[in-house]
Amino acid sequence: MLEGLNLDPHTVLGLDRDADLPAIQEAYRRKSKKHHPDLGGDEWAFRIVVRAYEELTRRSDVPAQVPFGPPPGDRVRFDDSELDPDPGPSHDWAAESERVRPGVRDRDFPPTRMVLVEVLWLRLEVADIYALLDRREPSSFSGSLHLCWPDPEAGVEQPVDPEELHAVLNELGAAFDQLRARPGVLNARSQSGRGRFDAWLSYPSGRDAWNAFTALRPLLKSGALGVRQLTRELTIPRDGAEGPAR
């Protein structure tokens, strides 16, 4: 489970299951070179790559020291000094097809009261137009919500006033607890610290994730919190996902 999604870290890094530590590190370097935000990559994809590396090194009983520092949020500069200058061609699931669309945005909330909520639809690739009509095989097989506070685009000045920080974290924690107690949640986790809050909840489908967002929004509003919502759609090949055979 990575970032609330049912993704295999071996698949994310393009590794065999018997890959050793050097192979894991080399795969991480190559994926990082492609997805690091400082090199024009997608921050969400980079975050998944980092989590996959951490998970595989944890399983190997090796300290998960990410070679290029912490993932986005701490905003380190990318260091490519250890990269192979010619890594060669590779097939990348995260680059297959991705769309990010802006959605709901609440107005008249101060920056410290704005929460970024991403609704992720993870879809199977549709081979032909007739597959769209086959209701026995839904194209959306996973969905998730990601809550992030403060919203990176809100321009919140750090550090946040301690009293305000305590109040916001309490409201976010309460909303998260109510949401994860609802039916249909496959996995949920949250973390807070260093003046920020992140939470991930996974669902059987993107539609379920969207319905969860519609339930979350009034919970946040009742705590005087506004949302900036994004919809992220990621399509992956059928031969790279566990799904119904065609």
Indicate the pTM of the whole model: 0.58
List pLDDT tens digits, range 77-132: 444 444 333 333 344 444 445 678 889 999 999 999 999 999 988 765 554 434 43
SS3 assignment, position 195: coil
Range among 31-35, 55-59, 74-78, 112-116 with highest mean pLDDT value = 112-116
Give the pLDDT band of residue 5 (cuts 50, 70, 90): low
**Whole-number percent of the chain with pLDDT over 90:** 34
List pLDDT tens digits, range 224-236: 999 999 998 876 6
pLDDT at 77: 42
Q: Do domains 1-75 and 96-240 have the same CATH topology?
A: no
* Rounded Cα distance, 219 and 225, in Å: 9
For residue 21, is pLDDT > 50?
yes
List pLDDT tens digits, range 173-196: 999 999 999 999 988 999 998 899
* Rounded Cα distance, 202 and 181, in Å: 13
**For the domain 1-75, what is the CATH code?**
1.10.287.110
Is there a contact between 120 and 146 (Cβ–Cβ < 8 Å)?
Answer: yes
User: How many of the other CB atoms lie within 10 Å of CB of 129?
Assistant: 7
Q: Which residues have CB under 8 Å from 152's CB, separation 6+?
A: 116
For residue 44, is pLDDT > 80?
no
pLDDT at 60: 58
Domain ranges of the chain: 1-75, 96-240
Q: Shortest CA distance to 179 belongs to which of 226, 127, 117, 234? A: 117
What CATH topology corresponds to 96-240? Alpha-Beta Plaits (3.30.70)
Q: Which residues have CB under 8 Å from 67's CB, separation 6+?
A: 25, 28, 29, 32, 82
Provide the pairing of β-strand 114-124 with 97-105: unpaired
Angle at 206 between CA 204 and CA 212, to 5 degrees: 85
Give the pLDDT band of residue 6 (cuts 50, 70, 90): low
* Rounded Cα distance, 97 and 74, in Å: 27
- For 243, counting Cβ atoms within 10 Å of its Cβ (0-12 exposed, 13-18 middle, 19+ buried), the class is middle
